[in-house]
Amino acid sequence: MELDLTPKLAKKLYGGDGGAYYAWCPNELPMLREGNIGAAKLALEKNGFALPRYSDSAKVAYVLQGSGVAGIVLRRKKKSCPLPCDTSKAHKSGSFTDFFLTGSNGIFTGFSTEFVSRAWDLEESVVKTLVGSQSRTGIVKLDPSCKMPEPKKEHYNGMALNCEEAPLDVDIKDGGKVVVLNTKNLPLVGEVGLGADLVRLNGKAMCSPGFSCDSALQVTYIVRGSGRVQVVGVDGKRVLETTIKAGSLFIVPRFFVVSKIADPDGMDWFSIITTPNPVFTHLAGRTSVWKALSPEVLQAAFGVPPDVEQKFSSKRKAEEIFFPPPN
């Protein structure tokens, strides 16, 4: 069975004046189901409010644009308990299922008046008002006069990381920049079981062919710009060669080699990696495995004479990961 790695755009599931919720369907992006991964996008308008909910899977979120306030309630236990890192135990493999606490599809509309009254110790008249007010669904638009709690700075630490301000892990002139999200700069990802990186590739620059050497999947969302991507899998077979643009999402299977070249305006992407401390091996550049092998081994492996091997080995001695466009 051949893998379908074709990049896909998200489809709108629901929404209104307050915003919309989009998701990638495992029927159209089979690697979601294969990798037990879910992917979705929440777009809120001004004064948009996503009704309280909980999900059957842990999530790592990246803010594409704009600003707002997010609230998260964590379970308190004397002993830490890792959260699920995928959708393998979800209701639907490859998809998130949200359970709403309020709204027309929330828990209050499912229980009888008697049960709600007993559980929350409320009079029947209050229960009827409470349940009868649950006519909205998913995302709503609040009146501008509605006042919400101010965010607390102390809650930000350990729960979020501004990738725009974080120290760069890689910064190559005319090539690109990388910020890696791991247990060092955001310890919470260790509990979630997921890591991430934000990559900015300069115009016409190339990202070295490489793969995740710790059996992790790469779920890549193109944030800005466009470019080309190639993925090579088992038996040296090219399994993907296509143009990618902002809004596209694609998945690179375990140990498959991927490389990208940005269009003239450059390309940014955000990747979720299915391990909290991802490790990548690059096959071209200063840190390439080829640089560690002797000339004799390379000549024998490639089946080429010494002069060809020498030309191969003499290139890319200074560059690492990103290669600026040729002059």
Distance CA 139, CA 18 (A): 6
Please, what is the end-to-end C-alpha distance for the chain in angstroms?
Answer: 42
Indicate the residue type of 311.
K
Q: Is the pTM here over 0.75, yes or no?
A: yes
What are φ and ψ of residue 274, in 5° steps? -80, 45
In this prediction, residue 157 carries a pLDDT of: 82
In this prediction, residue 259 carries a pLDDT of: 97
In this prediction, residue 87 carries a pLDDT of: 65
Of the chain, the percentage scoring pLDDT greater than 90 comes to 69
Q: What share of the chain is helix, strand, coil (3-state, %, to 5)?
A: 20, 30, 50
Beta carbons within 8 Å of 203's beta carbon, 6+ residues apart = 262, 263, 264, 265, 266, 325
- Unique residue bearing structure tokens 């060092």: 184
Which stretches does DSSP call E strand in the chain? 11-16, 19-23, 40-44, 48-50, 53-55, 98-100, 139-141, 170-172, 176-181, 195-201, 206-212, 218-232, 238-245, 249-252, 257-273, 280-282, 322-323
CA 250 to chain centre: 10
Could you tell me the pLDDT band of residue 1, with boundaries at 50, 70 and 90?
low
Q: Is the pLDDT of residue 312 over 70?
A: yes
For residue 181, list its beta bridge partners: 196
Closest Cα to residue 273, out of 86, 48, 89? 86
In this prediction, residue 84 carries a pLDDT of: 36
Q: What is the DSSP letter of 38?
A: -
Distance CA 179, CA 159 (A): 17
Distance CA 305, CA 296 (A): 10
In this prediction, residue 197 carries a pLDDT of: 93
Residue 131, H or E segment: helix 124-132
> Between β-strands 249-252 and 195-201, what pairing exists: parallel, antiparallel or unpaired?
unpaired
Closest Cα to residue 17, out of 136, 129, 192? 136
Distance CA 27, CA 121 (A): 44
In this prediction, residue 318 carries a pLDDT of: 82
Q: Is the pLDDT of residue 86 over 60?
A: no
Q: What is the DSSP letter of 236?
A: G
Could you tell me the pLDDT band of residue 67, with boundaries at 50, 70 and 90?
very high
Distance CA 271, CA 177 (A): 14
Cβ count near 32 (within 10 Å) = 25
Q: How many helices (H) and strands (E) does the chain have?
A: 8, 17
Orientation of helix 113-120 relative to helix 124-132, angle to 10°: 110
